[in-house]
Chain A
Amino acid sequence: MLAVQLADLLDGDPEGTGEALALVDGFDDALVHGLARLADERTAALAALAGAFTATPIGERLAEAAAEVASGSIAAEHLTTLAGGRAALFGAVHDALLARLDAALGREREPWSPAPESEPYGVANMLGGVRSWLRELAITGWRGVDHDLVSAVDQIVEALTAAPGQRRLAVLLDGFAAELRASCPIATMEHLPVRRWADLWTRAVLLAQDGVLPAEPRPVGLVSGRLLVLGVDVHEHGTAVQFQVHAVLEPADGGPARLVRTGVTVAKVDTIVGPALWTLAHEHKVLLAALADRRSLEVTDLPLLDSGDLVWHDDRAFLGKPADSFTTARLHLAGALAPAVPPLERAPVRIAEPVLVEGYKVTEDGSFDLGGAEITVDIGRLPSCGPLTPKLVAGSSACVGLVRWDGGRWLLQPLAVQAKVKRETVEIGTGDWAQGPTDPKVVKAEARAGDAVAVLRERAGRLLRR
């Protein structure tokens, strides 16, 4: 990302985002106190949200839902409609932000085209349970949530985790419920994550609708070619970790290079943290080796989804030549085609666009100053399973990272940096420890702590099936 590109990115908010966010905030505030006790200004906030859609096909339904909820008749279908309205507004904010980012970077993006419908599969009674729990949450409001209400979802999550095709909802609800549980009593909690919980609630409502949503990512075909890794983004809550690899795919058929995401999500428990997380993904030896050794990958017939995600199959890949993320970013990032974003995934939180930044000065608060334009560096997001530290980032001279947007501003989340260590320029990335830590101090600490995964597996083997 050049100084002029960053300056373009930061040049004011895209038109309309302020107004859209204000409507979203009004709705989110209603969820804090619960829909059962809507004060006048919150009734007005729901009406305002609905009002934004007056001229659209969902305008009438939204107006009806807002009115019914305000009058105290809170049916699940009204909540679904309101969640749809919030998602559409925040989706529009996402679209405006991403368009701004693409324009600033000169990045070309594929348009989204719906793939044909596939067979819906039914887990109707389970989803009904989810919807009524979400309804209870909305009626009660975050301030009123207690242990009993949180625990009511435990069995549903357990069933969803085991159900085919419901992993997204299961992982979302599990993380959400754990947060509510840890925050009890919420009535006296000092600061509430108001937008966040409304985000999670909204997405859960949408995912809990019967049948496959037309907006689910779908395979558009099988692709083969060379995969050049840019870096790995790690997502984690108490019971899941997702290693999401950002890469450039050079298709074997000679088509344009594409920006893709691929990776793996594994279940875990809260006491498995740090470098041990990688051991949970040990079956993907080729992928982990490519991350740890900085090698390219030759892949054959990987399903490509319309979301730009490659569905990883470790047995369809082998290690290629050495390829570091900085060379990849310098040579291939500028011309690569970015994927479309499926409608249901359009939320600002999903924006994570790989960029290369160099020639910056690190300011006192840790931001990168690029020719006078400053971007905040999200150093709180350096995963504990990798060697990247705030100190390394502060001393870096080049950075491959993800541009994100949160809390009303643009952020840079580092994935790899070039920095001087003992007067030598080295590259350090979040995936360096994919095959185990390489820092002797960390190796020692891990050995001292013992193998958490092995201990729990032993306990599981002895106690689970008796």
Chain B
Amino acid sequence: MNDRSPDGETVWAQHSRLRVVPPVKPRKLAKVPFVELADGRLQGVVSSGSDISRVYVSSIAAGTHDYNCSTNNNRPCGGLYGSPCKHLRALAAEAVLQYGLDRVARYLRVDVPDGTELVDRLTGAHEPAPAAMVFSRFLRHLAYLEVPETTMPIPEMHWFPAEGAVR
């Protein structure tokens, strides 16, 4: 039974145990520890190659494809010369690894013909956007690793079955 099969209407309507959010694919997290499709943007955090305590917050808006890159303290990225910097390119590449090209392209509303890279198909311009929101979402993401475990049963998790990765 495939939850996302084309004839899935009744499956979707009448099943309780579904994996509505497809599981993401594993990828190396060192360079781009955080990627998400949220609030109408592909956004994430890219670790600086030169300073381990600095990160860049990069984002690309769905539809307009306007992009921004700055440090988490809102200092603009020096690599934005009228085209996406290396952080934005890394963000887009890792998003494709994590979610698959289809899902990212659909979200950003961009057409990516075979043999081209998603980031080269973006038509937007540099448009400053506040980094604080994305950075705080990243910190919230990291904070999950510090949430204590529990051995009390959580029966609500029966609604969230594990789904096999394709091997």
Q: Which residues of A contact B (CB under 8 A)?
A: 25, 147, 151, 154, 158, 161-162, 167-168, 171-172, 175, 178-179, 181-183, 190-196, 199-200, 203, 207, 217, 234-242, 244, 261-271, 273-274, 276, 280-281, 283, 305, 307, 309, 311-313, 345, 347-350, 352, 376, 378-385, 389-390, 404, 406-408, 413, 442, 449-450, 452-453, 455-457, 459-460, 462-464
B146 at the interface (CB under 8 A from A): yes
The smallest beta-carbon distance between A51 and chain B, in angstroms, is 22
> What is the chain B residue whose CB lies nearest that of A385?
B162
Known: A193-B15, A378-B1, A407-B15. A199 touches B159 (CB 8 A): yes
Known: A191-B12, A269-B145. 15 other contacts (CB 8 A): A193-B20, A194-B12, A235-B154, A241-B162, A264-B149, A269-B142, A305-B153, A381-B17, A382-B162, A383-B163, A406-B16, A449-B28, A452-B29, A453-B145, A456-B142
Docked complex Cα distance between A224 and B167 (Å)? 40
Render B115-156 as a binary contact track against A, CB cut-off 8 A, 1 for contact: 000000000000000000000001111111111011111111
Do A191 and B9 touch (CB < 8 A)? yes
Do B52 and A196 touch (CB < 8 A)? no
Mostly, the B contact residues are loop
Do B141 and A313 touch (CB < 8 A)? no
Chain B contacts of A175 at CB under 8 A? 156, 159-160
Do A463 and B21 touch (CB < 8 A)? no
Chain B contacts of A261 at CB under 8 A? 153
Do A242 and B12 touch (CB < 8 A)? no
The smallest beta-carbon distance between A250 and chain B, in angstroms, is 21
Within B34-55, which residues are at the interface with A (CB < 8 Å)?
37-40, 47, 52-53, 55
B93 at the interface (CB under 8 A from A): no
Which of B10, B55, B162 has most chain A Cβ within 10 Å? B162
9 example contacts (A-B, Cβ-Cβ < 8 A) are as follows A168-B154, A192-B12, A193-B20, A199-B159, A265-B154, A267-B147, A349-B16, A442-B167, A463-B55
Do A217 and B161 touch (CB < 8 A)? no
Do A203 and B157 touch (CB < 8 A)? no
Which of A194, A235, A281, A309 has most chain B Cβ within 10 Å? A235
> What is the chain B residue whose CB lies nearest that of A352?
B158
Docked complex Cα distance between A385 and B165 (Å)? 9
Which of B33, B155, B158 has most chain A Cβ within 10 Å? B155
